[in-house]
Structure 1
Amino acid sequence: MALFLCVSVTAARAEEKFDTQPLTIVTRDGKSHAFTVELAVTPRQREQGLMNRREMAEDRGMLFAFGETRQVFMWMKNTYLPLDMLFLGKDGKIRTIKENAEPLSEAIIDSKGPIDYVLELNGGTVKRLGIRTGNRVENELIQSLRKAQ
């Protein structure tokens, strides 16, 4: 089983740049919730993630793409924002959710099974919008990688 752990970025390393894309979460009752997400697709981007950020707009987030299906372990070291983490399968369906991950914590957050993506949103978003496991995430990157596999 392959493992992935987001690790701290050294201060000497330049800040990574992230492309953005629209992303929609479709709940079981058919409601759509639109976001703009930064894409963390390279090892360095995934390593940096949302570390050292002090704020993020309500309709923003970050989508981590791992390029394979595997169990993922993350943490909140150097992350000042409480985050909701949505662990997604290749099909874009939400498999597990970690709500309100504690800022600056080094506690490991486990995907609890093989996944392909992690979507990070501001803490409280899942509860506010009624997002649940089984909901579908629609995004160009997810669709293009699903077709390529």
Structure 2
Amino acid sequence: MGNRGKAFRLSVAAFWLVSLAAPAAAETACRDDQISLRGDWGEARFTVEVADEPDERAQGLMHRESMARSAGMLFVYDSARPVRFWMKNTLIPLDMIFADETGTVRNIHRMAEPESEEMIFGGNEIQYILEINGGMADALKIGEGSELRHPAITAGAAAWPC
């Protein structure tokens, strides 16, 4: 086979190593449009819209008739605070996952009722809220103590940094 054969085998081997390593690197990379969760139940990832401005947070997921199963909305505040949400003009049931400044889940409100004006208290020291389709938190067994991973979660404070 000579040098040409060895070069071919090396290039094929290099191709397979890069091909196998690329998906793993892509999976661990933090992206603004994705959030990862982990806990003793396993890991999950959602494609998210980020609501980090007052008008975006006020609008939230109102008036939407559906949302992809693997989608959600991440509400980001500048600092931890008491938070309350309602479902007025929200047409789909939601699970609301409330996390502190480290991205650690402190409270989950499951199956929030569409169009309800009842206030949902998330907690006193909450900085991040992930809204996903109602029933997903139970289906995935997401619980308190789980950790969120997203670029908006300050790296120095994050329980699971990017």
Q: Please give the range of the TM-score, normalised by the shorter of the 2 chains.
A: 0.7 to 0.9
Q: Distance in 1 between matches of 2:111 and 2:156?
A: 28
Q: Could you tell me how far apart the structure 1 residues matched to 2:108 and 2:93 are? A: 14
1:45 aligns with 2:77: no
| Secondary structure class of the residue paired with 2:33 | strand
1:128 aligns with 2:148: no
Aligned to 1:112: 123
Q: CA deviation at 1:97?
A: 0.5
Distance 2:116 2:155 in 1: 34
Identical aligned residues as a percent = 39
CA deviation profile, 1:39-76 (whole Å, cap 9, x unmatched): 00000000000000000001000000111110001100
Q: For 1:40 and 1:84, how far apart are their aligned partners in 2?
A: 16
- Structure 2 residue 151 is the aligned partner of structure 1 residue 140: yes
Which of structures 1 and 2 has the bigger CA Rg? 2
Q: Is the 8 A contact 1:21 1:140 kept in 2?
A: no
How many Å apart are 1:145 and its aligned residue? 8.2
The superposition leaves residues 63-93 of structure 1 with CA deviations (integer Å, 9 ceiling, x where unpaired) of 0011111000110000001000000011111
Q: Distance in 2 between matches of 1:106 and 1:87?
A: 19
Q: What RMSD over aligned residues (CA atoms) do the two structures have, in Å? A: 1.5
Q: Does residue 1:21 correspond to 2:29, yes or no?
A: no
Distance change >3 Å, CA 119–CA 145, structure 1 → 2 = farther
Superposition misfits of 4+ residues, deviation over 6 angstroms:
none
Matched residues, number? 127
| Bigger shift: residues 137-146 or 56-65 | 137-146
Matches of 1:131 and 1:64 in 2, distance apart?
18
With 77-86 and 106-115 compared, the bigger mean Cα shift is at 106-115
- Indicate yes or no: 2:78 matched with 1:67: yes
User: Taking structure 1 as the reference length, what is the TM-score of the superposition?
Assistant: 0.81
Per the alignment, residue 47 of structure 2 pairs with: 36
TM-score, structure 2 as length reference: 0.75
Partner AA of 2:135 in structure 1: G
* Distance in 1 of aligned mates of 2:77 and 2:67: 23
CA distance in 1 between partners of 2:129 and 2:55 (Å)? 15
Q: Which runs of 5+ in 2 are unaligned?
A: 1-31
